[in-house]
Homo-oligomer: A and B are copies of this chain.
Amino acid sequence: MFVGCQFSLYPMTDRFVQVILGAVEGLHQQKDLRVETDDLSTLVIGAPQPLFAALEQCFLKAAASGEHIVLTATFSRGCPGEPDDPICQPTKPIGAIESAIDPSQVKLSGVKASAQFAVYPLGSTEYMEVIYREIRAIKDAGISSRAKHFCTRLDGDVSQIFMVLGAAFDRAATATGHVVITATISTASPTQL
């Protein structure tokens, strides 16, 4: 399964270079991922499980600095024209998913964060059904969530947030071959709601 993302870390501190380099240390050496970095973002290509795990680790390492940290990411699965196009076709019709998202099963990181994300199922005229289905699933998942314009907000443990993003990415892929998720994850913001 071909999956990739572009992600960026934004540490709101004069020490931002040091925090970023510390957070991504070892990422380029990970054998099950292809990683390329430029001045705007880091590309990671690989299977969903190691990819989401790697981003979670990067975020947690940056958060350990104690600074206000934001990670933004665009996850994409099944871009047409890529060589793996044939394996990216949907395998189940919309509505075939029975399993709920269950972040209570996740081992907690102990780091609290806030996030907002959006799911874009592409090439499908039924895309709003998929979006509404995922919003309902997250409401049932036992993690704090709230609708915002153009996205859904999550508040919880970092590991729960990454679990929900990974699950939404998997679930949307049953409906269409090309799925994009954009996400913003923030910790230690001085702004408290």
Question: Which residues between 24 and 65 of chain A lie within 8 Å of chain B, taking CB atoms?
Answer: 38-41, 43, 45
Check: A174 CB closer than 8 A to any chain B CB.
Answer: no
Copies in the complex: 2
CA distance A86 to B122 in the complex (A): 22
Identify the closest chain B residue to A70 (Cβ).
Answer: B10
Partner of A122, one of B6, B45, B122, B189: B122
> How many A residues touch B, CB cutoff 8 Å?
50
Which chain A residues have a beta carbon within 8 Å of chain B's beta carbons? Answer: 4-6, 8, 10-14, 16-17, 38-41, 43, 45, 68, 70, 72, 74, 76, 79-81, 114-116, 118, 120, 122-125, 127-128, 148-151, 153, 180, 182, 184, 186, 189-193
